[in-house]
Amino acid sequence: MQIIENSYVKEKLYIEKLENGLTVMIIPKKGIRKKYVMWATHYGSIDNKFIVPGEENVTEVPDGVAHFLEHKMFEQENGTNSLDILTALGVNANAYTTNNYTTYLFEATDNFYPALDELMDYVQNPYFTDENVEKEKGIIAQEIKMYDDYPDWVVYMNAMRNMYKNNPIKIDIAGSVESIYKIDKDILYKCYNTFYNPSNMVMCFCGDFEPEKLIEEIKNRLIEKPNQGEIKRIYKEEPEEIIEKRIEQTMEVSMPLFVIGIKDKVPKKNEDIVKKHIAIEILLNMIIGKSSNLYKELYENELLISEPFLEYEFTDNYAHIAITGMSTNPDKVLEKIEKEIDRLKKEGLNLSDFERIKNMLYGNAVKEFNNVSDIARMFITDYFKDVNSFDYLENYKQITPEYTHEILKEVFLKDKTVLSIVKGK
């Protein structure tokens, strides 16, 4: 068992790779009553074209299969629903699908091992029939239609479609009403058997655990499956250029919503993506964060209604910045942001602002280690990006104003920027 210790937060990460390929991560928190577990598979909405290990032919499936599978996993052959059983045990259970992984989770203070029994039972024993798959189509179709009426989701997806030509990130995680009606039980079993192999999965535990004992408990509950090897995922090549600069849609909103997206190059294999991520977060806060001069100006002039949400999203398949907010005039907000970026490129970064924001972000990163659910989610999300969450804490000290200024010039480009707006009718 590998042990990685971080001196900044005085936490240890225990990592064990089992014979069947399953990776187990444990972050013990002595004396904490709450326990949190996530069991995730490296299978998300973008994985629609692949070669199954041992096969030669390419398998292509309809959009939305990963999300459909997540919905169906709780239903058991004996007629019970595992979500109901977990709720009856007094634990808070859930599941969700992202672009690049699907995860099943629960949080417990009592009945941890009975809940683990149920989790490991339903994730390892799918039950799909023609009838229960057909019934689920109607439920998911309603969910898709609901999201199509949700302005926050529409403004984000429109930004993705304006940034990406071929990357499946531009497709809704749940698929479309048309695509889900092409899904049948054979497709679900094929994708389950391919992507739910232990060698493609990771478990993360955070709470008061003895790692060696917990590993034995996991082994006792695992169904024997051979390590199948690597799945070859096939993606169309994505051009570096954006598709359209601006898109506007009319919906029932009281105030226009906007997403400013900046398309970045896909991270290189040897690139220090953690350092780059930290530098981009510092820059976003310097440009338009709550303590920035530009935010104060836009807020006082009622061009911004509240602090915008700032994020840098990346995997080994895509990377972009998203600035999300509400404004009476989104075009003016973009104009002001681009003007501020130009100014910082020309004049350089204010050193006191840089240090203050870097220290604030470092403090926020340290605080995340106070909560068992935050810790587990962080380690799972970073795992699928080939990053150890501790690396962020180690790298903050190494981020210099000079390096950050280089990232500003390299990433924050006008010809890679899109504006998506949803405004009232």
Q: H or E segment at 322?
A: strand 319-326
Give the position of tokens 């006008």. Answer: 414
Task: Please tell me the distance from the alpha carbon of residue 162 to that of residue 170, in angstroms, as a whole number.
Answer: 9
Dig out the tokens for 390 from the structure.
């501790």
What residues form DSSP beta bridges with 107? 36, 92
**Any idea of the CA torsion for 274, 280, 284, 287, to the nearest 10 degrees?**
140
Ramachandran angles phi, psi of 413, nearest 5°: -115, 135
Which of 70, 75, 118, 136 is catalytic? The answer is: 70
Angstrom distances, CA of residue 317 to CA of 128, 174, 175, 313:
31, 19, 19, 11
3-state secondary structure of 174: coil
Give the containing element (helix H, strand E) for 421: strand 417-424
CB atoms within 10 A of CB 102: 25
CA 368-374-377 angle, to 5 degrees, is 130
- What is d(CA 140, CA 136) in angstroms, rounded to the nearest whole number? 6
State whether the Cα torsion 23-56-225-44 is positive or negative. positive
Confirm whether 355 is a catalytic residue: no
What residue has token string 């189509």?
A: 137
Measured between alpha carbons, how far is 132 from 138 in angstroms, rounded to an integer?
11
CB atoms within 10 A of CB 199: 19
From residue 307, alpha-carbon distances to 113, 292, 293, 322, 355 in Å are: 42, 10, 12, 14, 21
Residue type, 264: D
Q: Which residues are catalytic?
A: 70
